């Protein structure tokens, strides 16, 4: 699908960005792969690994999604956009709310406008379980991001297609709680905010393959959700440091006991497609297209990390962490 195509990845120096860049460069033959981000040091570090001599298709583009003009320049001639750039730390977004809005909401609107004006074929944007029934500002901005991306199909008139991929915590990413637990383990005490807390987990490798699969199969307007495993956060702490003392603190502002990937309201227009779910757009933005695969979810169904059918054991998580 990506052979001889031009691909732009916003936030391309982040955990997901680096992994998808590595996969595309080593398994596909893009004409051009553009890394768009605002951190010059991270781009410099990536250039040491993915040099132009070894990977002539790669390009590094300093820019901020808050600036539409820079996005317009970067998207010239681009076929596909994978949008990963965001402010993602919950406490940071709570303390700096408008900064999160400027990046996650206004920045997304800039991407939509630039993609339509530059004739991009497909845009897939990454979202989070925190966008469902949000209780913190980060989740609220990602909900807005989803709504903007889906609505982008109405403005594009079929020339540019927009879809969303929504998943949970990523094993091996800098933003997960795992690096914090590993750091705390050196001091002999891990902090868990509530012993009842559960989370969805997905590996970076599975996230990358799922996003690329959705980019290939999307019609525009869908929200794709992989079927992934749950784990108790306290079990994760015990996995990382069995001998450590675990201190129960208190739930932080904007934090949930469990996460939801599909709400009961969304289930009314969601299909079970085997190893993933597809939330169909409520407003039909494309004609002559229908999802033939999948069965309608039952009324009131909710995909919740505390009520999941699939759970990671401590041995499973130990293996995943060791692989990182």
Residue 297 burial by Cβ neighbours in a 10 Å radius (0-12, 13-18, 19+): buried
Instruction: Give the Cα separation of 163 and 223 in Å (integer).
Output: 6
- Both ends of the chain: CA-CA distance in Å? 28
Segment (H or E) for 60? strand 58-62
Among residues 189, 170, 11, 171, the alpha carbon closest in space to that of 84 is found at 11
| Helical residues (DSSP H) of the chain, grouped into ranges | 15-27, 40-49, 68-74, 90-95, 97-100, 107-118, 137-156, 178-185, 204-217, 233-240, 314-323
- Residues taking part in catalysis: 130
**C-alpha angle 229-230-233 in degrees, rounded to nearest 5:** 145
Residue 268 CA, chain-centre distance (Å), reads: 23
SS3 143: helix
């Amino acid at each position: 699908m990506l052979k001889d195509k031009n691909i732009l990845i916003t936030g391309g120096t982040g955990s997901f960005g680096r992994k998808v860049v590595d996969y595309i460069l080593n398994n596909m033959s893009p004409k051009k792969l553009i890394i768009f981000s605002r951190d010059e040091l991270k781009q410099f570090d990536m250039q040491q690994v993915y040099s132009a001599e070894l990977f002539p298709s790669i390009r590094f583009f300093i820019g901020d999604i808050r600036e539409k003009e820079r996005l317009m320049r970067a998207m010239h001639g681009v076929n596909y956009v994978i949008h990963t750039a965001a402010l993602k730390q919950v406490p940071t977004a709570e303390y700096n709310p408008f900064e999160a809005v400027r990046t996650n909401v206004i920045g997304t609107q800039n991407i939509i406008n630039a993609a339509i004006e530059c004739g991009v074929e497909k845009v897939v944007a990454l979202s989070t379980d925190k966008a469902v029934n949000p209780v913190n500002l980060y989740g609220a901005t990602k909900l807005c991001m989803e709504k903007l991306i889906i609505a982008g199909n109405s403005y594009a008139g079929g020339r540019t297609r927009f879809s969303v991929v929504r998943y949970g915590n990523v094993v091996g990413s800098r933003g997960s709680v795992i690096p914090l637990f590993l750091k705390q383990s050196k001091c002999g005490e891990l902090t868990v905010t509530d012993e009842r807390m559960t989370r969805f987990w997905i590996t970076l490798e599975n996230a990358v393959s799922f996003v690329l699969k959705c980019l290939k199969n999307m019609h525009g307007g869908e929200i794709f959700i992989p079927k992934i495993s749950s784990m108790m956060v306290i079990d994760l702490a015990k996995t990382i440091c069995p001998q450590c003392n675990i201190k129960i603190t208190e739930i932080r502002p904007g934090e949930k006991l469990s996460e939801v990937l599909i709400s009961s309201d969304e289930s009314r227009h969601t299909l079970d497609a085997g190893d993933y779910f597809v939330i169909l757009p409520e407003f039909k933005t494309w004609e002559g297209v229908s999802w033939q695969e999948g069965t309608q979810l039952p009324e009131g169904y909710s995909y919740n990390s505390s009520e999941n059918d699939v759970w990671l054991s401590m041995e499973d998580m130990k293996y995943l962490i060791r692989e990182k």
